[in-house]
Amino acid sequence: MKKIIVFMGLVFTLTSVTAQKGGITPEILSQIEQSYVPTASDKAIYNAMAGTSISVLAKNHENLINFDTHFSNKVVSHGITDQKQSGRCWLFTGLNVLRAQMMAKYGLDEMEFSENYCFFYDQLEKANLFLQGIIDTREKPMDDKMVEWLFQHPISDGGQFTGISDIIEKYGLVPASVMPETYSSENTSQIAQLIGWKLKEFGLKLREEFGKGAKEAELEQQKVEMLGTVYRMLALAFGEPVKQFSWTIKGVTKEYTPQSFYKEFLGNDLTGNYVMLMNDPSREFYKCYEIDYDRHVYDGRNWTYINLPIEEIKSMAIQSIKDSTMMYFSCDVGKYLDSKRGTLDLNNYDYESLMGTTFNMDKKQRIQTFASGSSHAMTLMAVDLDKDGNPKKWMVENSWGTDAGYQGHLIMTDEWFDEYMFRLVVERKYVPQNILNMLQQKPIRLPAWDPMFAPEQ
């Protein structure tokens, strides 16, 4: 008995030593503490940071004198939209690109499409995407990576350009006055949470029924019934989508369906006429990539793009702007943003002087370490070129209302564009043939959980 006690004590000692390996021991803590010798400046900085935002203290006031709102090439902007407390920037951006085309074509002073109409069907389609995904993975265990991802992401209000193309080409468009915003469409968190809960419950039910022997056809019929519940929840939150409406343009009133309205006034080939580009230096350039499950419609397309060096993307963007054509654009908007002035500039904040250290990761390293990624979509509509044709700064039309930024816009330096711009969608006519040829490649498929490709909010 005594020998057993000694042995158990030895095991406990060895376990304790192993548990401490790699941890902060008292000796290591002492070394860390001794490495910091507070100065008078540190004391002043601590006092300031104790009651003030770091961004306020780090603001580079010397940079304020560089604020310039002149642009050599600019597409006319017709009013700022406001996504309010929702993650629908992708939808506002895509619709703003289309409304600019319609306003120019018909000489309209004002126009806005119903984001609420498109969003209703976006949410219904995403619910179907989740439930069908659960059926497709029914034979996999609950801890399978794909099954886990589905249950973690049953639905969201974020998205990207394929949501624009697939939803509009399937369901059409209506003017904002025909299906206006509601509280829940402008404040999406609560309804999204409720629908997410219901979808997870339905997902478990489908897997349970499969375990009891239900065939695929039976599961899909149950899915249709489940989508009926989701449809009712959406109708209560956003209103039921209009099927037919009257609209007047240039003094002429006609009856339209959402599909006939879109076909008459726009009729764009949103699937074939637009090319999606990415600047991701962490992956090989001049390759075509596809993101699994990065789509809004189950029978639609995964987000597919060509990865290119930044200078080639800029060249196409400049051509588009010179031709008075706005573009879907997305970036890491939170980095170095001066929201009051509406500028995105690497010199807006001097974090290094404040914190007494450097932040030296490049764009590739920030992507690899999840420090940066595309987070917000806006409408690229202006560039300021120097006498040699090189861009100095860019401007986007945002969807945060007229009081946000510079009269509802954001202005970014070309250096900021290099570091934090990620995605651009351009019309095919601005894309060189050698790049269009890359679309013939079989896309390299990346997994749905790749963090670089989170939906834009």
Residue tagged active-site, from 89, 128, 348, 409: 89
The 3-state DSSP class for residue 246 equals strand
CB 317 within 8 A of CB 423: no
Three-state DSSP state, 456 = strand
Question: Exactly one of 63, 331, 398, 409 is catalytic; which is it?
Answer: 398
E-only strand ranges, 323-415: 327-331, 337-338, 343-344, 376-385, 391-397, 409-413
Q: How far is CA 239 from CA 118, 127, 169, 183, 184, in A?
A: 12, 17, 21, 11, 10
The one catalytic residue among 96, 307, 348, 376: 376
Query: Is residue 376 among the annotated active site residues?
Result: yes
List, in sequence order, every beta strand (DSSP E) within 222-353: 245-249, 252-256, 274-278, 287-291, 304-307, 327-331, 337-338, 343-344
Residue with tokens 């019309």: 427
How long is the chain? 457
Tell me how many degrees the CA angle 321-419-334 measures, rounded to the nearest 5: 90
Q: Which two tokens stand for residue 167?
A: 């939803």
* 288 included as an active-site residue: no
Q: How far apart are CA 28 and CA 34, in angstroms?
A: 10
Q: How far apart are CA 222 and CA 207, in angstroms?
A: 11
What is the token pair recorded at 413? Answer: 């330096």
Among the listed residues 146, 153, 293, 142, the one whose alpha carbon sits nearest the alpha carbon of residue 204: 142
Would you call 228 exposed, middle or buried from its count of C-beta atoms within 10 A (0-12, 13-18, 19+)?
exposed
| Selection from 446, 454, 442, 448 nearest residue 137 by Cα | 448
State both tokens at 444.
């390299």
118 included as an active-site residue? no
C-alpha Rg value of the chain to the nearest Å:
26
Q: How far apart are CA 132 and CA 123, in angstroms?
A: 14
Question: Rounded to an integer, what distance in angstroms lies between the CA atom of residue 447 and that of residue 308?
Answer: 20
Q: Write out the catalytic residue numbers.
A: 89, 376, 398
